[in-house]
């Protein structure tokens, strides 16, 4: 109870500190010879107070303090300690408090690491960031208080959703939020720089690090979420175009586009207007994604009706931020159109423009597919679901030229260029097409489309591999990221083409045989765990060349009383053997789902390679 008391009043004092920071920032802006030390001191104090508040919530979860409504709704005395702690941010209120903690941490780091920048620019960035921070303070205290008091005090809590009780999901939200909140610094920085007409190469060099940090954490967060969904939800795949997945993909696409444009601004002072728009869009998408997921709007459009105060605040806060952004863009930004004239068709700038077109198209498709069902439900009460076929039909045809331009673009030079080594580029294209035809030919699939798509992915793959051994190419970070992306596309394509699935109902002692594969249900064991009962099936998977023993599991949790299915996956270098079981109601039979998923490991590895390319660029002092 004491921890909740301290945590609540730390938030109130933190809000007061925000007002003081804005007051001293405005005062310092008028006399901006040096940065007022009070701003840095109060920023640290604000970060410390939010940390105390967050730590107070963690202590409340650890001690099972059910006088705290957030703890009561999301914890239970029998829950393991690790999941008591992760339950702190596994809910709406706690996750927003984590957002606030990272916001205050990042603005303090920004102040410490921007000593070489203009004083007015630093002060304005602090002011814009504090507007966002104040919005979160008010949102937490008014509509989403993580320290709401319950009386009489319940003896037991409702427990955390069992599917959230997993190590990957425990670390997935904090890493994802680091990516989201990193975009807030980009947002505040670009508004400050636009106001001062400071969008130039010096600003680009400074903000590029924040773009990369945000992009790296967002990539890792998406990866962890994808891995968790693969083995925990039992879906048997890495991506299903679920709305919750899409809201993290959209800011990633915007950030990737922004990073490429920042490179152009750093080198040639182009795309200033477009960079401002992308910076604003990235943060807006991050905010929308977090609020849509945490408010439940994606699951039920009527969440606003159930909690009109929370919904109205979300909409009002987003409107205010977007209005401020648009106002600053149109009033303070001075467009420099002459910078766009000297772009030749064959140049690095042109390749990045084309990259932008494709990325914005992909972003538009994902955005429409995600928000259209929400608006349709609001306007007509008609519920529809936008599934993978929609995205595949609209994205795959445009992915082919995108991969080809991605292969050729980095070979070009700034301003004006000529394609060198045309023969080797043509030879690699022929090899890529032949390789794709050879692979796709023997499978019942869309022969023409898959041949071209696999061929274009191979083309990017072969060119990036060649660049690793080229003495002329020294852009290791770019090569690593593009190589990882080509490997990702190839792994996804092979996964889709070569996957196999078997679904059947079996009881203990029975077997199922199809072609050369036999699935034998050998045994079923029961075991009592700390907060659930485990039923583990033992299956023998037999083929001409191998025999595997797989042990999928059903868990019946005590609080809340929910049954979950835990997949057993045998991971090898080139394929995963994946099996799940579900009980058939009022029967002795179990529904068995067995999948062969090729190249799953390489999907995860390829994303890590892409992230590693970003890390190399972040720590590489020389311009690439």
Query: Per-residue pLDDT tens for 537-570?
Result: 999 998 877 888 999 999 888 767 788 888 999 9
In this structure, of 41-55, 202-216, 242-256, 423-437, the range with the lowest mean pLDDT score is: 423-437
How do strand 553-557 and strand 563-566 relate by DSSP bridges? Answer: antiparallel
Q: Is the pLDDT of residue 83 over 80?
A: yes
At 419 the pLDDT is: 63
At 624 the pLDDT is: 44
How close are the terminal C-alpha atoms of the chain, in Å?
53
At 343 the pLDDT is: 47
Tokens representing 289 are: 């994604």
The closest alpha carbon to 262, from 210, 196, 222, belongs to 210
- Band of pLDDT at residue 6, cut at 50, 70 and 90: very high
At 207 the pLDDT is: 93
Query: Is 502 in a helix, a strand, or coil?
Result: strand
pTM of the model: 0.91
In this structure, of 209-223, 304-318, 521-535, the range with the lowest mean pLDDT score is: 304-318
Highest mean pLDDT: which range of 50-54, 305-309, 350-354, 494-498 = 50-54
- Band of pLDDT at residue 337, cut at 50, 70 and 90: low
In this structure, of 212-221, 270-279, 423-432, 502-511, the range with the lowest mean pLDDT score is: 423-432
Q: What is the mean pLDDT of the chain?
A: 86
In this structure, of 69-83, 244-258, 339-353, 356-370, the range with the lowest mean pLDDT score is: 339-353
Query: Per-residue pLDDT tens for 101-134?
Result: 999 999 999 999 988 899 999 999 999 999 999 9
Distance between CA atoms of 250 and 289, rounded to whole angstroms?
9
Q: Is the pLDDT of residue 464 over 50?
A: yes
b (16+ CB within 10 A) / e for 115-136: eebbbbbbbbbbbbbbbbbbbb
Mean pLDDT, residues 190-217 taken together: 94
Tokens representing 275 are: 């960079």
Q: Is the pLDDT of residue 178 over 60?
A: yes
Mean pLDDT, residues 167-195 taken together: 91
65 contacts: CB under 8 Å, gap ≥ 6: 1, 3, 4, 59, 71
Mean pLDDT, residues 336-344 taken together: 49
Burial category of 295 from C-beta neighbours within 10 Å (exposed 0-12, middle 13-18, buried 19 and up):
buried
Per-residue CA distances from 585 to 233, 350, 590, 612 (Å): 20, 60, 9, 47
Q: Is the pLDDT of residue 391 over 90?
A: yes
Query: Per-residue pLDDT tens for 32-48?
Result: 778 888 999 999 999 99
Q: Is the pLDDT of residue 304 over 50?
A: no
- Band of pLDDT at residue 166, cut at 50, 70 and 90: confident
At 461 the pLDDT is: 93
Q: Phi, psi at residue 352, to the nearest 5°?
A: -75, -35
Q: Is 504 within 8 Å of 511 (Cβ atoms)?
A: no
Mean pLDDT, residues 589-609 taken together: 93
At 81 the pLDDT is: 86
- Band of pLDDT at residue 285, cut at 50, 70 and 90: very high
SS in 3 state form for 5-59? HHHHHHHHHHHHHHHHHHHHHHHHHHCCCCCCHHHHHHHHHHHHHHHHHHHHHHH
At 36 the pLDDT is: 84
Enclosing H/E stretch for 376: helix 348-380
Q: Is the pLDDT of residue 308 over 70?
A: no
At 443 the pLDDT is: 66
pLDDT > 70: what percent of the chain?
91
Q: Is 499 within 8 Å of 597 (Cβ atoms)?
A: yes
At 193 the pLDDT is: 95
């Amino acid at each position: 109870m004491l921890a909740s008391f301290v945590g609540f009043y730390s938030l109130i004092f933190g809000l007061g500190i925000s007002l003081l920071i804005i007051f001293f920032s405005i005062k310092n802006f008028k006399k901006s010879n040096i940065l007022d030390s009070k701003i840095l001191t109060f920023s640290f104090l604000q970060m410390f107070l939010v940390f105390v508040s967050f730590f107070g919530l963690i202590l409340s979860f650890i001690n099972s303090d059910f006088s705290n409504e957030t703890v009561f709704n999301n914890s239970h005395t029998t829950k393991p300690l690790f999941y008591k702690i992760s339950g702190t941010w596994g809910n709406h209120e706690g996750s927003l408090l984590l957002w606030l903690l990272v916001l205050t941490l990042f603005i303090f780091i920004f102040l410490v690491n921007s000593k070489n920048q203009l004083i007015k620019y630093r002060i304005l960035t602090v002011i814009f960031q504090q507007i966002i921070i104040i919005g979160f303070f008010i949102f937490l205290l008014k509509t989403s208080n993580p320290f709401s008091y319950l009386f009489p005090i319940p003896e037991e809590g409702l427990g955390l959703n069992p599917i959230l009780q997993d190590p990957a999901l425990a670390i997935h939200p904090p890493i994802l939020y680091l990516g989201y909140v990193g975009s807030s610094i980009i947002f505040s920085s670009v508004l400050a720089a636009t106001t001062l007409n400071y969008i130039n190469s010096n600003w680009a060099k400074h903000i590029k690090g924040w773009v990369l940090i945000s992009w790296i954490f967002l990539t890792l967060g998406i990866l962890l979420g994808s891995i968790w969904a693969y083995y925990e939800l039992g879906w048997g795949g890495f991506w299903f175009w679920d709305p919750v997945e899409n809201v993290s993909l959209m800011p990633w696409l915007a950030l990737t586009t922004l990073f490429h444009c920042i490179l152009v601004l750093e080198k040639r002072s182009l795309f200033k207007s477009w960079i401002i728009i992308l910076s604003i869009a990235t943060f807006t998408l991050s905010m929308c994604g977090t609020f849509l997921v945490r408010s439940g709007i994606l699951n039920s459009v009527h969440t606003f009706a159930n909690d009109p105060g929370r919904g109205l605040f979300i909409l009002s806060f987003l409107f205010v931020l977007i209005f401020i952004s648009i106002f600053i863009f149109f009033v303070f930004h001075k467009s420099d159109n002459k910078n766009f004239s000297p772009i030749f068709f064959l140049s690095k700038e042109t390749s990045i423009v084309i990259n932008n077109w494709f990325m914005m198209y992909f972003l538009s498709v994902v955005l429409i597919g995600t928000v259209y069902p929400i608006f349709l439900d609001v306007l007509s009460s008609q519920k529809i679901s936008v599934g993978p076929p929609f995205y595949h039909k609209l994205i795959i045809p445009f992915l082919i030229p995108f991969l080809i331009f991605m292969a050729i673009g980095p070979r070009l030079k700034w301003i004006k260029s000529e394609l060198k080594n045309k023969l080797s580029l043509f030879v690699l294209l022929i090899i890529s097409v032949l390789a794709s035809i050879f692979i796709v030919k023997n499978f019942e699939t869309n022969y023409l489309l898959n041949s071209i798509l696999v061929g274009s992915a191979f083309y990017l793959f072969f060119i990036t591999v060649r660049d690793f051994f080229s003495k002329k190419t020294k852009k290791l970070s770019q090569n690593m990221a593009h190589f990882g992306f080509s490997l990702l596309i190839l792994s996804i394509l092979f996964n889709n083409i070569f996957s196999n699935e078997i679904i059947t109902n079996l009881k203990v002692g029975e077997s199922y045989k199809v072609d050369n594969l036999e699935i034998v249900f050998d045994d079923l064991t029961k075991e009592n765990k700390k907060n659930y009962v485990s039923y583990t099936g033992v299956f023998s998977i037999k083929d001409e060349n191998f025999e595997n023993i797989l042990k999928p599991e059903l868990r019946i949790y005590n609080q809340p009383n929910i049954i979950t299915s835990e997949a057993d996956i045998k991971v090898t270098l080139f394929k995963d053997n994946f099996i799940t079981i579900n009980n058939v109601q009022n029967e002795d039979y179990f529904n068995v789902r067995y999948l062969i998923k090729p190249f799953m490991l390489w999907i995860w590895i390829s994303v890590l390679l892409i992230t590693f390319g970003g890390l190399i660029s972040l720590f590489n002092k020389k311009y690439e």
